[in-house]
Amino acid sequence: MHKRKIIIKSSKQNYSIELLNISKSNFKANIDTNDILLVDKKVFQRHKLSKFLSNKNIIKINASEKSKSFENLNSIINQIIKKNFNKNNKLIIIGGGITQDIGSFIASILFRGIDWIFYPTSFLSQCDSCIGGKTSINFYSRKNQIGNFHPPKKIFIDVNFLNTLSKKEINSGIGEMAHYFLVSGKEDVAYFKLRYQKAMQLNLKACEQLIFKSLNIKKRFIEKDEFDKKERLLLNYGHTYGHAIESITNFKIPHGIAVAHGMNMANFISHKLGLLKYEKFEMVKEILDPICKDYLPKNININHLIKALKKDKKNINSNIRSILAKDIGHMIVREIVVNDNFKKILYEFKRKYFRL
Ligand SMILES: NC(=O)c1ccc[n+]([C@@H]2O[C@H](COP(=O)([O-])OP(=O)(O)OC[C@H]3O[C@@H](n4cnc5c(N)ncnc54)[C@H](O)[C@@H]3O)[C@@H](O)[C@H]2O)c1
């Protein structure tokens, strides 16, 4: 596969993403002796990374939402400091979005900020989270409540890492990716439709094409609105409802699959509020079904869902800030008042589409 490169412009520092086959020489060229590596434990084992990484400073991360906590941070920072790490050394992060969120948050606060390089290994981290500079940890069951912006210096993507992902994690990545194409417009949705089922079968060429395209769509939004104040808010399409589903199912539904359900929910609400034609809701649902229909949230309690929706950090007062759809590629920001009509819509959605 030939090399593809993207540069992201950021007010903090511009940074690059290269899509390539990561070889031993890439690690050698980018990792210095005193750098510290935070590596997803599973990736370390499945890709036999001990053969490629000669560096002694390796901290293995157990990637779970519970690990994105203050307690875990404390223990990792303690290990880093004990290794005589200083401000001129870098953190090298190898793993998915969770390892990234933990590592990048540490990189942003340690010694008032150190450099980090990222080798994303999950679908979701390759097509989405690796760019944008957001760092986050959870606060008890509240997701991504604490964080800041601290982009990496460089990102290297190798789609061969995807070979060891479970079916559920592949679908999660494709679910997250889908929202970029749907927000972007009809032409990009057609591009996605031609390739996403192949990517779900791990056709690496299709994976690479979709990853490259979705990163370029995200680039458009984050370069216009780096700090999530205007245009970038539209990228929360599916996320308000997705985060609430993740939270009330105790994270049993992985992020990107929850986002796919969340997009269906947002579209259904949009239709019920007179914004979106029913055919458009159905059309998008047909695209999303192969990604999420085998992973339905079991028996959700609508009152719990509303409680979780109300905790979203982007809300305004007690209203729910939602990204709704008027069409494919035409999303709007709406404040939703939680009233009987809204509850009725959620109950109807559950009855029709979360039936097991
Ligand atoms: N910072 C951001 O901008 C941003 C954006 C989107 C999502 N996120 C966060 O990312 C997280 C989800 O990301 P994720 O799905 O990558 O989670 P993850 O890091 O937990 O990876 C998912 C699972 O796949 C495993 N894994 C990773 N790479 C693998 C590989 N190559 N082979 C086998 N197993 C592998 C992990 O060990 C884990 O079990 C969430 O916490 C979400 O909030 C952050």
Strands 330-336 and 142-149: unpaired
pLDDT of residue 2: 53
pLDDT of residue 140: 84
From 45, 129, 174, 245, give the residue whose CB has the most ligand 1 atoms within 8 Å, as the site to mutate.
129
Q: Does residue 261 register a pLDDT over 90?
A: yes
Confidence label for 313 from pLDDT (cuts 50, 70 and 90) = confident
Torsion of CA 227, 270, 292, 235, to 10 degrees: -10
Q: Which ranges of 204-254 does DSSP label H, i.e. alpha helix?
A: 204-224, 239-248
pLDDT of residue 356: 64
Q: Give the mean model confidence (pLDDT) for residues 122-136.
A: 96
What is the Cα–Cα distance from 356 to 353, expressed in whole angstroms? Answer: 8
Nearest atom in ligand 1 to the alpha carbon of residue 98 is 19
Q: For residue 198, count CB atoms less than 10 angstroms from its CB and return exposed for 0-12, middle for 13-18, buried for 19 or more.
A: middle
Confidence label for 292 from pLDDT (cuts 50, 70 and 90) = very high
- Which residues of 126-168 form beta strands (DSSP E)? 134-139, 142-149, 154-157
The two structure tokens encoding residue 166: 């479970």
Q: Does residue 1 register a pLDDT over 70?
A: no
Q: Which residues line ligand 1 (CB under 6 A)?
A: 40, 42-43, 46, 63, 65, 95-101, 121-122, 124-125, 128-129, 132, 134, 136, 144, 161, 164-165, 169, 172, 254-255
Q: Give the mean model confidence (pLDDT) for residues 301-310.
A: 94
180 and 126 in contact (C-beta within 8 Å)?
no
> What H or E segment, with its residue span, contains residue 308?
helix 302-310
**The one-letter amino acid at 201:** Q
Confidence label for 335 from pLDDT (cuts 50, 70 and 90) = very high
Q: What spacing in Å lies between the alpha carbon of 164 and ligand 1's midpoint?
A: 13
Q: What spacing in Å lies between the alpha carbon of 163 and ligand 1's midpoint?
A: 15
Q: What spacing in Å lies between the alpha carbon of 302 and ligand 1's midpoint?
A: 27
The CATH class for the domain spanning 4-164 reads: alpha beta
Supply the residue whose CA is at minimum distance from atom 19 of ligand 1: 96
What is the Cα–Cα distance from 331 to 322, expressed in whole angstroms? Answer: 10
Mind listing the pLDDT tens digit for each residue in 4-54?
999 999 999 999 999 998 887 889 899 999 999 999 999 999 999 998 887
Q: What spacing in Å lies between the alpha carbon of 63 and ligand 1's midpoint?
A: 7
Q: Give the mean model confidence (pLDDT) for residues 316-345.
A: 93
Q: For residue 132, count CB atoms less than 10 angstroms from its CB and return exposed for 0-12, middle for 13-18, buried for 19 or more.
A: buried
What is the Cα–Cα distance from 169 to 176, expressed in whole angstroms? Answer: 11
Arithmetic mean of pLDDT over the chain: 94
CA atoms within 13 A on the CB side of 84: 3
Supply the residue whose CA is at minimum distance from atom 12 of ligand 1: 97
Supply the residue whose CA is at minimum distance from atom 43 of ligand 1: 144
Distances (CA, A) of 198 to 64, 177, 203, 209, 214: 28, 14, 5, 11, 16
In the chain, which residues fall in CATH 1.20.1090.10? 167-353
pLDDT of residue 336: 94
Strand partners, 121: none
Q: Does residue 342 register a pLDDT over 60?
A: yes
pLDDT of residue 55: 75
Burial 84-102 (b: 16+ CB within 10 A, else e): ebeeebbbbbbbbbbbbbb
Q: Which of 256, 307, 266 is nearest to 141 (CA)?
A: 307
261 and 241 in contact (C-beta within 8 Å)?
yes
% of the chain beyond a pLDDT of 70? 99
Supply the residue whose CA is at minimum distance from atom 10 of ligand 1: 97
Q: Does residue 316 register a pLDDT over 80?
A: no
In the chain, which residues fall in CATH 3.40.50.1970? 4-164
Backbone angle region of 252, left / alpha / beta, with phi > 0 → left and psi within -120 to 50 → alpha? alpha
Nearest atom in ligand 1 to the alpha carbon of residue 144 is 43
The two structure tokens encoding residue 201: 């079968």
Q: Does residue 253 register a pLDDT over 90?
A: yes
Confidence label for 318 from pLDDT (cuts 50, 70 and 90) = confident
Nearest atom in ligand 1 to the alpha carbon of residue 135 is 1
pLDDT of residue 265: 98
285 and 293 in contact (C-beta within 8 Å)?
no
Q: Give the mean model confidence (pLDDT) for residues 95-122.
A: 97
What is the Cα–Cα distance from 5 to 161, expressed in whole angstroms? Answer: 18
Q: Does residue 298 register a pLDDT over 90?
A: no
DSSP designation for 48 = T
119 and 90 in contact (C-beta within 8 Å)?
no
Fold of 167-353: Dehydroquinate synthase-like, alpha domain (1.20.1090)
Q: Does residue 75 register a pLDDT over 90?
A: yes
